[in-house]
Amino acid sequence: MFSGAMKTILITGATRGLGRAMAEFFASAGHKVIGCGTKADAVAQLGAALGPPHSFAVVNVARDTEVKGWANAVLSEHGAPDFLINNAAVIARNAPLWVVPATEFDRTLDVNVKGTANTIRYFVPAMIARRTGVIVNFSSGWGRSTSPEVAPYCASKFAIEGLTQAFAKELPHGLAAVALNPGIIATDMLRSTFGGEAAGYVTPEQWVKKAGPFILELGPKDNGASVTVPE
């Protein structure tokens, strides 16, 4: 649907891993990229690398007030995004659930679930007013299946699946919400759980060559779907 003309694509967690790969891919394809990250130096580096008209800000998506302020600035300058990609995520250290500290459990749910809800709260009304747009909530294979020692992450991504399906039913015609399983990619997050085995999987730069065009083809026909990037 949106693979033709330039689109405004908003990406959370844009400074590393899949977020960085998507930002670079979409910018190189002629789209405007708006993004955020939590580390000022990484945000500045990405902004310098891509330059105008792209725009990046330091935002912790788990903090409602930060997302609200960022959204106000973005909507004022750039208007509603065509794609809202909720990519920002964290994972607790591998451990049985009863060993996971409360702070790590809370952070996983705060970023992965509340962060997604926060961006929806402040960006989607403008998308609804324009009556077009796609919200892509990053899920995981661990949002549809489970493994030991990653219970908090599984909980957060199962939540994303349910949140997306319910949210999709609330959207008016012309918009879509999709839960996207990106597949298994050799990111820092994967290395934290798989260790050295992560090196056997595709890099973000390899992944985005298929994932980028796949995301750009998502549209109203996919509303409420749980999809997976083709291998």
Ordered structural domains, the chain, with CATH? 77-228 (3.40.50.720)
Per annotation, catalytic residue among 123, 138, 142, 153: 153
Which of 132, 33, 51 minimizes the C-alpha distance to 87?
Answer: 33
**What whole-number distance in Å separates Cα of residue 210 and Cα of residue 31?**
17
What is the reported pLDDT for 4?
A: 64
Q: Is it the case that residue 1 has pLDDT exceeding 60?
A: no
Instruction: Give the mean pLDDT of the chain.
Output: 96
Q: Report the C-alpha gap between 175 and 47 in whole angstroms.
A: 29
Per cent of the chain over pLDDT 90 is 90
pLDDT for position 200: 82
122 counts as catalytic:
no
Highest mean pLDDT among 152-161, 185-194, 196-205: 152-161
Amino acid of residue 34: I
Give the angle 54-77-119 at the CA atoms, nearest 5°: 80
pTM flag (> 0.85): yes
User: Token pair 């992450």 is at which residue?
Assistant: 153
* Statement: residue 175 has pLDDT above 90: yes
